[in-house]
Amino acid sequence: MLMQYIEALQNVSLFRGMSMDEISQTLSSMDTLVRKHPERNCICSQNETFSTIGIILKGKVQIVRKHITGDIASIHTLETYDTFGEDIICSGSTTTPYGIETLEKSILLYINSTELFYMDKNTSTFRSKFFLNIIKTVANRSFLLNAQVDYIRILSLKKRIATLLLDHYYNHGQNLFTIELSRAEMAKYLNATRPAVSKILAEFKKEGMIDYYRNSFKIYDVDRLSKQ
């Protein structure tokens, strides 16, 4: 069942820059499981043992973090090709700091961490690419979290979005990059509404300053974007 998704997995950040053959070999050397979930299905509760990377092949998943009082601290929605769990594995923790559930019927690919970091001469080349992508994905999320306060201080939403894009441009050292946030998450991150963020991004695109597809962005005019 997994083989039918190999081409689609090239859209996932963890497999960026990898060929279909490399993705296939990487996954065949790991403990993986493709599972169908019904709507509102609990994948994992907060503080439960969790040692798996999840990849959304189809559907939507909600990440919910709660305070000890039971009040909701944050909610993030993940969509097709988004991932979760890498932060837990890289931190060395065995429990998840958030709960995970499906928002609609979903198909997920799970990669067990048990043999995740095992390497031999037959798997080292493509596994190295996979590990590097994991590190980049986790680092990007950490960068976003640390920079959030600075963005919110900017009064203009247009300037906030432009600054976010430019920061990633300079951080990656190239005009093509990925922001590990869905539109809804980006809106919440910038303390705005999703329609407002989408409208401004569309304006930037129409004016020839940027192009984008899902969470992949390309900057064409740094100077004009800097003046927003």
- Tell me the C-alpha distance between 171 and 21, whole Å: 30
d(CA 98, CA 75): 9
Hey, what domains does the chain have and what are their CATH numbers? 2-130 (2.60.120.10), 154-226 (1.10.10.10)
Task: Give the 3-state secondary structure of residue 72.
Answer: strand
What pLDDT does 122 receive? 66
Q: In the chain, where does DSSP find H-type helix?
A: 20-28, 86-91, 124-152, 157-172, 183-189, 194-206, 222-226
Stated pTM of the model? 0.68
Report pLDDT digits (tens) over 116-146.
777 666 667 788 888 889 988 888 777 777 7
pLDDT, one tens digit per residue, over 196-223 is 999 999 999 999 999 998 888 999 999 9
Average pLDDT over residues 44-58: 92
- For residue 99, which amino acid is it? G
Q: At what angle do helices 157-172 and 194-206 cross, to 10 degrees?
A: 70
**pLDDT (0 to 100) of residue 45:** 92
Q: What pLDDT is stored for residue 74 in this prediction?
A: 64
With tokens 């060395």, the residue in question is 92
